[in-house]
Amino acid sequence: MDGNGRWAKRRFLPRIAGHRKGVEAVRNIVRACTDRGVQALTLFAFSSENWRRPADEVSLLMQLFVSALQQEVDRLHENGIRFRAIGDISRFDPKLVGLLEGAQKKTAANTGLTLTVAANYGGRWDILQAMRRMFEASPQLRAEPTRASEADLAPYLAMNYAPEPDLFIRTGGEQRISNFMLWQTAYAELYFAATLWPEFKAKQLQDAVHSYLQRDRRFGSSSAVL
């Protein structure tokens, strides 16, 4: 969800104003995905690299995260949306950790859209922590690591509860994955939008989906085989 800071800068506003506007965009896109019958939506809210930002901006982001959870969780629950959080949340303030855990518990039985927020998350971290957990749980694999397979590792990845993504969208004009779901996006279709995140609405989502639907997904096979 890239472009909050640039959106604010173009309007001579502080960066936090862009992040607040970005929360509105989240609300709109969640609603649009629900209307379209999307099964899973994962939002990259805060990467493990974002700690490098100025301390005051990080602090304000954490406060915004807290307020967004306080305001939105009941609405998510009322609409049957299941909330999940992935990433190393132990570094966050206990209040934020409690809100994240409470939101997951409250919505756990919901069967609508699964909304995942990646917070203090990185794709490399995900693969590394999964590998460590797999070896801790399976002494036989630790003794003979060459026996380990993708199927052995899969249950320990952060997104083990969701299907692999079909479509990866990045806003703001940058054309890179930036350490997001590196394992899971191996065969995702990539879509890069010039639109800044605060201006990304249902119309822009529709454009991304339309682009996806025009593509020939072969997963390594030829179109003749499929």
Residue 216 a catalytic site member: no
58 pLDDT above the threshold of 70: yes
pLDDT tens digits for 96-142? 999 999 999 999 999 999 999 999 999 999 999 999 999 999 999 99
For 47, residues 6+ apart whose C-beta sits below 8 A from its C-beta are 118, 120, 121, 122, 178, 179, 180
Asked if 174 and 2 count as a contact pair (C-beta separation under 8 A), the reply is yes
Assess whether pLDDT exceeds 60 at residue 226. Answer: no
Instruction: Determine which one of 2, 4, 120, 126 is catalytic.
Output: 2
Q: Which among 4, 28, 35, 50 is annotated as catalytic?
A: 50
Q: Is residue 166 annotated as a catalytic residue, yes or no?
A: no
Backbone angles phi, psi at 202, to 5 degrees: -60, -35
Question: Which tens digits make up the pLDDT trace of 156-204?
Answer: 999 999 999 999 999 999 999 999 999 999 999 999 999 999 999 999 9
Q: Is pTM, for the whole model, over 0.85? A: yes
Q: What is the pLDDT of residue 111?
A: 96
Give me 13's structure tokens. 């506003």
User: Quick one: average pLDDT of 34-40?
Assistant: 95
- In 3D, which of 44, 93, 102 has the Cα closest to residue 72? 102
- List all residues 6 or more positions away from 58 whose beta carbon is below 8 Å from its beta carbon: 50, 51
User: What CATH number has the domain spanning 4-206?
Assistant: 3.40.1180.10
User: Per-domain residue ranges for the chain?
Assistant: 4-206
Q: Are 195 and 29 in contact (CB under 8 A)?
A: no
